[in-house]
Amino acid sequence: MSDRLVTLVFALAYLPLAAMALLWVIALGLRLAGAPGLLRWLKARTSVPQPEPNPPPGARGEGQP
Q: Does residue 47 lie within any of the structural domains?
A: no
The string of DSSP letters for 29-47 reads: HHHHTT-THHHHHHHHHHS
pLDDT > 70 fraction of the chain, expressed in percent and rounded: 86
Q: Does residue 49 lie within any of the structural domains?
A: no
CA angle 37, 26, 11 (to 5 degrees): 145
CA distance 60 to 62: 6
Give the model confidence (pLDDT) of 10-34 as tens digits.
999 999 999 999 988 888 887 777 7
pTM of the model: 0.46
Q: Find the domain containing 7 and state its range.
A: 1-33
pLDDT at residue 64 tops 70: no
pLDDT of residue 52: 81
CA 61 and chain centroid, separation: 41
Cβ–Cβ under 8 Å, residues 40 and 46: no
Q: Does residue 54 lie within any of the structural domains?
A: no
